Amino acid sequence: MAGTILASDMHLDAQRPESTALFHHFLDEVASGADALYLLGDLFEAWLGDDAIHPAHEPILDRMAALTGAGTALYIQHGNRDFLMGETLAGRLGATLLPEEAVVELGGAPTLLLHGDSLCTDDTAYQEFRAQVRDPAWQAQFLALSPAERMEQARQAREASREAQADIDSDITDVNAEAVADAFRRHGVDRMIHGHTHRPADHALTVDGATCRRLVLPQWTDRGGYIRCDEAGCELLAYPSGVRLPTSDGE
């Protein structure tokens, strides 16, 4: 299958083997034979460092390496769950780590790719946390801990996050309209693809008089979804059924 495939928010976790099996099937049935596969963050529910790989993740890493070995280019962005993926992992997979915001040519048009959490600026508590854990000094300090110590800190952070989410207004976890518009302006594009919000849709919007398109990838639980881009353009699809996901006429 030629063309480019994009997905995000698989949240692969040893506690959810069904999601890993679904994604493995996706690699075999959709990504295999594609020109390129872009994974836009949260491939893993948690990533504690390239030196602390859970044994349950080994088979999917091997399958991804086989995909690139067969000729499909693999590009990975950090998400809010797996921001510690590094060059060691990328080298093992034969993948390229992308910056937080990357503009690539897809379906004949420059397209901004990002995980999407940076657009959720109304959630100020999360943005403060994001700034902390993306700081190289914080990351170096965290990675200097033993894997067991990292795991314990991650467990405590997840518990705190669950408690905070219970009281939060769900609207602030979606993107901020002005942050979206600023991203379009900053990069001079009229198409954006991201994940993170778990609100899949194909949005049409107007920025400074120009018609723009924002495609949002779904999360992977009992099913998933992806975008396929070729010379005809980009289409947001469900997996495994392959049906087109909803379109929004405005924001």
Give me the average pLDDT of each 10-residue run along the chain (251 residues).
91 92 94 97 96 95 98 97 96 98 95 98 93 96 94 85 67 92 98 96 96 96 91 92 69 60
Any binding-site annotation on 80?
yes
Any binding-site annotation on 182?
no
User: For residue 158, is it within any domain?
Assistant: no
58-69 helix and 17-26 helix, angle to the nearest 10 degrees: 10
Q: In the prediction, which pLDDT does 248 show?
A: 61
Starting at the edge strand that comes first in sequence, how are the strands of the sheet with 95-97 ordered? Answer: 95-97, 73-77, 36-40, 4-7, 224-230, 233-239
Q: Are 139 and 48 in contact (CB under 8 A)?
A: no
User: For residue 167, is it within any domain?
Assistant: no
User: For residue 171, is it within any domain?
Assistant: no
Q: In the prediction, which pLDDT does 154 show?
A: 86
Q: In the prediction, which pLDDT does 244 show?
A: 79
Any binding-site annotation on 115?
yes
Q: In the prediction, which pLDDT does 245 show?
A: 73
Any binding-site annotation on 161?
yes
Any binding-site annotation on 165?
yes
Q: Are 162 and 184 in contact (CB under 8 A)?
A: no
Q: In the prediction, which pLDDT does 164 show?
A: 67
Residues 226 and 242: their CA atoms lie apart, in Å, by 9
Q: In the prediction, which pLDDT does 157 show?
A: 81
Q: In the prediction, which pLDDT does 158 show?
A: 80
Residue ranges making up the domain that contains 59: 4-116+177-248
**At 244, which CATH number?**
3.60.21.10
For the whole model, what pTM was predicted?
A: 0.93
User: For residue 164, is it within any domain?
Assistant: no
Look up residue 171 and give its two tokens: 């609207």
In the chain, how many domains are there?
1
Report H helices in the chain.
17-26, 58-69, 87-93, 124-133, 136-143, 147-166, 177-187
Any binding-site annotation on 248?
no
Any binding-site annotation on 57?
no
User: For residue 134, is it within any domain?
Assistant: no
Q: In the prediction, which pLDDT does 146 show?
A: 95
